[in-house]
Amino acid sequence: MSAATVPVAHKFGGSSLADAQRIAHVADVLTARDDPTQIIVVSAMQGVTDALIALVHAASSDPETAQGQLQTLIERHRKTAHALLGEQEAELLGRLERDWNDLTALLRAAHLLSHPSADLLDYVQGLGEVWSAQLLAALLRARGEDAGWLDAREVLVVEPGQLGMGVDWALSEARLADWQQRHAPVRHLVVTGFVARSGNGRPTTLGRNGSDYSGAIFARLFACSALHIWTDVDGVLSADPRLVPDAVLLPRMSYDEAFELAYFGAKVVHPGTMSPVLERGIPVYVRNTFKPELEGTRIGPEQQDENGPVKGLTIAPQLALVEVEGTGMIGVPGTAERVFGALRGAGVSVVMIAQASSEHSICCAVRSADAGRAVGVLRQAFAQELAAGLIQSIEAEGGVAVLAAVGDGMAGHPGVAARLFAGLAHAEVNVRAIAQGGSERNISVAIREADAARALRAVHSGFWLSPQTISVGVIGPGQVGSEFLDQLASAAGRLLEAHQLDLRLRGIAGSSRMHLADRCVDWPNWRSQYVEAATPLDLDAFTAHIKAPHLPHAMIIDCSASAEVAARYAGWLAEGIHVVTPNKQAGSAPLSQYRAARAAARRAHWRYEATVGAGLPIIGTLRDLIDTGDEILAIEGIFSGTLSYLFNSFDGSKPFSELVLDARGKGFTEPDPRDDLSGMDVARKLVILAREWGQDIELGDVDLVGLVPEHLATLDKDAFLERAHEMDADLTARAESARAKQHVLRFVARVDGAGAKVGLVELPMDHAFAHLKPTDNIVQFTTRRYRDNPLVVQGPGAGTAVTAAGVFADLLRIAQALGSRF
């Protein structure tokens, strides 16, 4: 047979043949193709097989009900034939009428017998395929196509076995050859799926998934070049799209990969149905009837791993773990045989097996419905050992699911298990049992069923099968928060496209209201959406929404200056919510609160680089020094951009108060300049650095000398602004004294072994702090390595843009730690 005449097999399921419109669409799909010859295997119209089975059972006890159900089925097929064929329906209906008359007689027999025989049930439930095949063949002929139909019961011979229906290939091939001699060849041959005959000539069926099995059988009998299974999905996906919305279509996979996924319930071809094509190496294409332009998934003998070691992930739910545990099992041969022999005798199928190398326990996953029976038969089988204390317990734990990672590329590929368990750890999912086949094609883990969706999403993104998705909530859309949101909005698309990082802004909260988005806030319109939000602020509801169970990771960005919000960090981190913040309240909070947050940070990431020096890498540098074994001797610096600006400008030519008012007008200070002049903000930053160093220091331990005289500190803001000139005399005198020594005034923070101080100091002109750009921050680390020439970090330490950028950088560092590539 030349390649130009090799037929192509097509199989259409019930959803593709649900009504006249869909049958007509199937005909469109077939006639649009350029296959030389088509072998078209069809299921019954959607729901017809179940209706026929119900019809037989109803006839046994209630013939009137059965007659009504039969008329409903007949009318459905009549209407379909008329819609498809119009005036050309007569010939087809004549043949179908004979079947309906025979069926009426059979239903009377079922009533007389009061119980349908197995043969009668097998015959009747296969009629749906006989009718749908004739409908499609008649439509193709009515369109002028060269078409015919084949009743598989004339050709296909099967015999039941322990693993289902087995094909008598020699007899079936002989019968097909005989049938072909008696019938002229046609371009479109429509074949009934699901039905066959036994070796003794009785009508039978291939059981559930029988139509797919028929497709593979006839693809082999006709020596087809390929089998296209047309269904209602685009192909085989990397995971269940109902659980993983970002599941991707797999363009190619091997037979073995498909079978592994199917075993655990993935919507893919059933392993038992594909054995005929597997034996002949016939590729199978899983395609969408309603999107015929899509290529779908090709399943074949080839093993390709260019898309990574893991091809797909799937979940088997509604399982239970049955565990046999006891010291008497250690070193005793045949224990596993007794366990699985007892389960086999009780008809309990085992989904997964795990045994500790100590032989102290054997654990297996079974269907939840079988768990009670499994425990019962095992206790009976090991009754003597239980009584003697050699077996301590035989118990079942319900509410379990098995997550399986499948891929031919896993074999010999190091680190696959590490990535799997890292993904589960990030999603805070505990593993109850583990199993891996010797082929390394499948790693299976038993987890709580309640964690299944979250686990699947986390692992899916961890293997680059979908973007790394993070549910993000932002608190405090003020100056820094707004700038951060704008930066995030401009970069989100690039991060998704270039790095597969899907940052979903799902909530924005202010001091009195919040806006929650089901999937993601519309980036360009985040301001209007937040402003229009009518939901009163509820931080508990906000937290619950951000930590969505269907998303693998959650992160809260706190851009407020609220101590109340900072007090929640420990709880958020304990729940696995990552925290990024420029808010200094948590880092300088009472030690008990700070320690609670640090302890909770073992379960999630807490990043706060922007609390000191805006976007400067000050905390990161300090961590690097400590982590590499250096010894910190002292930390000092200028940590206020506002005070840096003021004292860089204060040369005595202008009163200090005038500089303050001028800076306030330019937006360089807080609305109340005393918030800067008090030095409290600098003290908080020093406490954060001291604690990062390892000092147990409270904010009250800092020797803080601010710039605001006590008599001005208690005034309201407006009164202070009017009387700010009362600071000038003292500061002018100090400036003149410093200038006389050729020194300058700088507002410096320092912590060393003697303690922590914040205040105005005189520094020589050659000091590193003497010559800064107006709003620069600078920090100097004196360490064992950098004793003679301290390490200096200097740069812009204030401004919404650089602070927001520091926050953004912390977010990306966490994303990288969670597995994103940068």
Token pair of 263 as six digits:
């075993």
- 307 Cβ contact partners less than 8 Å away, ≥ 6 residues apart: 250, 409
User: What residues pair up with 161 in beta bridges, in sequence order?
Assistant: 164
Q: What is the DSSP letter of 194?
A: S
Token pair of 404 as six digits:
């399986």
- 635 Cβ contact partners less than 8 Å away, ≥ 6 residues apart: 622, 686, 689, 690, 693, 750, 751, 752, 779, 780, 781, 782
Helix/strand/coil for 784: coil
Instruction: Find where tokens 């000539």 sit.
Output: 201
Q: How far apart are alpha carbons 163 and 412 in whole angstroms?
A: 32
Active site residue 717: no
Whether residue 156 contacts residue 217, with contact meaning beta carbons closer than 8 Å, is answered with yes
Q: How far apart are alpha carbons 427 and 424 in whole angstroms?
A: 5
- What pairing do the DSSP bridges indicate for beta strands 252-254 and 297-300? parallel
Identify the H or E element spanning 286.
strand 284-288
Amino acid at 344: R
Q: What is the DSSP letter of 25?
A: H
Classify burial at 684, counting beta carbons within 10 Å of its beta carbon; exposed 0-12, middle 13-18, buried 19 or more: buried
Q: Considering the candidates 685, 741, 757, 773, report the single residue annotated as catalytic.
A: 685
Token pair of 298 as six digits:
């090709």
3-state per-residue secondary structure call for 99-122: HHHHHHHHHHHHHHHCCCCHHHHH
Cα 691 to the center of its chain, rounded Å: 37
CA dihedral 814→815→818→819, nearest 10 degrees, is -140
| Range list of H helices, 547-655 | 563-566, 569-574, 591-600, 618-627, 641-649
Whether residue 192 contacts residue 205, with contact meaning beta carbons closer than 8 Å, is answered with no
Q: How far apart are alpha carbons 502 and 508 in whole angstroms?
A: 17
- What pairing do the DSSP bridges indicate for beta strands 755-764 and 743-752? antiparallel
Identify the H or E element spanning 819.
none
Identify the H or E element spanning 132.
helix 127-142
Catalytic residue annotation: 685
